[in-house]
Amino acid sequence: MLDALRLIGHRVVNGVWRLGYASRFFVLTLMRSGTSFRRFRLTMREIYFAGVLSLIIIGVSGLFVGMVLGLQGYETLQKYGSAEAVGTLVALSLTRELGPVVAALLFASRAGSAMTAEIGLMKATEQISAMEMMAVDPIARVIGPRLWGGIISMPLLAAMFSAVGVFGGYLITVVVIGVDAGAFWSQMQGAVDFRQDILNGVIKSIVFGIAVTAIALFEGYDAPPTAEGVSGATTRTVVTSSLAILGLDFVLTAFMFTGV
Amino acid sequence: MENLVEIRDVNFSYDLRPVLKGINMTVPRGSLATIMGLSGCGKTTLLRLIGGALKAKSGEVRVAGRLMNELDQEELYAMRRRMGMLFQFGALYTDLSVFDNVAFQMREHTSLPESMIRDLALMKLNAVGLRGAQDLMPSELSGGMARRVALARAIALDPMLIMYDEPFTGLDPISMGVISNLIRRLNAALGATSIIVTHDVQETLRIVDYVYFMSDGIVVAKGTPDEIRSSETPFVHQFVWGEMDGPMPFHYPGAPYHRDLAFGPAHA
């Protein structure tokens, strides 16, 4: 009994300590972000790796999610004689929720895990130590550009996901099923508000981008320098990021859309 | 001769485990010294103290007259720009080509035009015989070549002090000979001072000026290579000549042999 209590206490203390360490790491990265902007080429390289190389998975997933939304939406709405509203349903679902959330989950599993593995292996092969010995700050040179690359990429990927998703919905409902194109687009245009829906979706994706990239970089930097350590850190990145995305999504939705 | 590195009464421990216990050491400017000892005896820790990656709990570590324990981040980085370090397995940046690895520090710390950086990096690569490999990626290099590129990178800014952490580990005899000769030649050519942490005895004794032997966190012997070769100190003798048994026992401590076998009371 006492051992179990001690174990729980140890885990809680350890968790709080790690959270504090991660916060300190994040603040330190922000403070040393000057290099990421002075030498924007470094950040652009990370935008390429985190953003451009994620385009295919984001595009394909967005297309299928949009098509499924179109199918499911049409099936339900036609029962009430309002099949033309399917455009609204697809667009609102994507811009408010599915675009930012699913794109962030995909970003975490593709780009986040890659960042963790890369930083962890750089540490394991002493590349980080070598940089420090060369009087080059690894937080400024390696971590900062990756953080900003992730933060810039994430809303663009979410926007891309939503846009392709809307196109997928159009393909299924208008081209395949035969819903009137004019009604599809005009109802969508009338119902989607730029500030309330699109901007809030963008804000969500920026928050998710910060969370996923910060978690991925911290896990990589904190990974034990062994094969087992790096693999464990990569798994933790995907699990923690996914939970953080879903938790943050609930909090943000509560503030943005329900007036809680 | 003036000392570039001076270590006085240095103690260091990881948590509560003491690793260095009152170490004293000096390395004269322009010389090539080695720190030898068994794995875990504290020699890499000592190298990290000299490089300022760790701070001594007590005592002094001075490099070029500056007390490493007391430098702030900016001063430490200024000092490290005058140091080079070769890591055990090279630690080359795997996303950069051989050329970019060597040019890395020049691009980070100088505002030299790219044409001059190119010339300087090629000169460093030429010094280690790998000018022709400038476009290769680290994954395309053999272990010996990677170590030579890392050596070219370590001397990129003509450092006053070059530190080598196990430079011969995992190398074939030819590569080992090439690296050891390069270390000797480059030290002389650059007018630098070098410290090699290693346990490759014969290869190292061939090239160094002075040897420190460490065991269990203290310096147990020191001297020139000839003095070390002829040393009567049991530990040094066992280490230099690779003897199986001596002060460092062959058998890991355990229960008496006869008790573990069928003659002990458990089998009676």
Residues of A near B (CB-CB distance < 8 A)?
121-122, 125-127, 129-130, 132-137, 141
Number of domains present in the structure of chain B: 1
Q: Tell which of B80, B106, B195 to mutate to test the A interface (max A CBs under 10 Å).
A: B80
- Residue B48 forms part of a structural domain: yes
Residue B137 clears pLDDT 90, i.e. is over it: yes
Asked if residue A183 is part of any domain, the answer here is yes
Overall number of domains in chain A: 1
Let me know if residue B268 belongs to a domain.
no
Does residue A5 fall inside a structural domain? no
How many Å lie between the alpha carbon of B261 and the closest alpha carbon of chain A? 37
Helix (H, G, I), strand (E, B) or coil at B26: strand
Q: Residue B179 — very low, low, confident or very high, per pLDDT cuts 50/70/90?
A: confident
Measured in degrees and rounded to the nearest 5, phi and psi for residue B249 equal: -70, 150
Q: Give the HSE-up count for residue B137: Cα atoms under 13 Å, Cβ half-sphere.
A: 4
The whole-chain average pLDDT of chain B stands at: 87
pTM of the predicted structure, to 2 decimals: 0.85
Question: Do the domain assignments include residue B260?
Answer: no
Does residue A26 lie within any of the structural domains?
A: no
CA distance B268 to B261: 11
The predicted-structure confidence for A83-138, as pLDDT tens digits, reads as follows 889 999 999 999 999 999 999 999 999 999 999 999 999 999 999 999 999 999 99
Q: Is the CB of A127 less than 8 angstroms away from the CB of B83?
A: no
A51-55, A59-63, A122-126, B215-219 — which is least confidently predicted? Answer: B215-219
Cα(B12)–Cα(A256) distance, integer angstroms = 54
d(CA B52, CA B5): 12
Name the strands in the sheet holding B3-14, side by side, starting at the edge strand that comes first in the sequence. Answer: B17-28, B3-14, B58-63, B66-67
pLDDT tops 60 at residue B255: yes
Chain A with chain B: Cβ pairs closer than 8 A: 45
Nearest to B80 among A121, A127, A133 (CB): A133
Q: Are B52 and B68 within 8 A, CB to CB?
A: yes
- The amino acid sitting at A205 is S
Asked whether residue B246 carries a pLDDT value surpassing 70, the answer given is no
pLDDT of residue B196: 93
Angle at Cα B141 formed by Cα B136 and Cα B144, nearest 5°?
Answer: 135
A18-37 confidence digits (pLDDT tens): 999 999 999 999 999 998 89
Q: Region A206-223: what's the mean pLDDT? A: 96
For residue B261, tell me if it sits in a domain. no
Q: Which of B91, B93, B108 sits opposite A129 (nearest CB)?
A: B91
Residue A11 lies in a domain: no
Asked if B236 and B220 count as a contact pair (C-beta separation under 8 A), the reply is yes
Stronger pLDDT, B176 or A176, i.e. the higher one = A176
pLDDT value of position B218: 86
Residue A31 placed within a domain: no
Checking if the pLDDT of B108 tops 60, the result is yes
Token pair, residue B23, equals 């170490």
Please say whether the beta carbons of B25 and B11 come within 8 A: no
CB contact under 8 Å between A135 and B93, yes or no, is no
Read off the CATH number of the domain in which B141 is found. Answer: 3.40.50.300
Check pLDDT > 70 for residue B245. Answer: no
Whether residue B249 is contained in a domain is answered as no
Q: Tokens for B160, please give them.
A: 């006053």
Q: What is the pLDDT of residues A143-176, one digit of tens each?
A: 999 999 999 999 999 999 999 999 999 999 999 9
Task: State the residue range of the domain holding B198.
Answer: 3-231
- What element of type H or E holds A15? helix A2-31
| pLDDT more than 70, % of chain B | 94
Q: Give domain status of residue B137, yes or no.
A: yes
Indicate whether B251 belongs to any domain: no
d(CA A258, CA A4): 42
The Cα–Cα gap between B159 and B185 comes to 14
Supply A228's token pair: 């087992």
pLDDT surpassing 60 at residue A78: yes
Tokens in use for A21? 């360490």
Nearest beta carbon to residue A127 from set B53, B85, B93 = B93
Burial class (CB in 10 A: 0-12, 13-18, 19+), B17: exposed
Backbone angles phi, psi at B26, to 5 degrees: -135, 145
The pLDDT score that the predictor gives to residue A95 is 93
Residue B7 lies in a domain: yes
Task: Name the band, by pLDDT with cuts 50, 70 and 90, for residue B249.
Answer: low
Beta strand spans in chain B (E): 3-14, 17-28, 32-37, 58-63, 66-67, 83-86, 161-165, 193-198, 210-215, 218-223
Q: Identify the pLDDT of residue A83.
A: 87
The residues, any chain, with a CB within 8 Å of residue A162's CB and separated by 6 or more, are A62, A91, A94, A95, A98, A99, A201
Q: Which domain holds residue A210?
A: 37-102+114-257
Pairing of strands B218-223, B210-215: antiparallel
Please give the DSSP secondary-structure letter assigned to residue B167. T
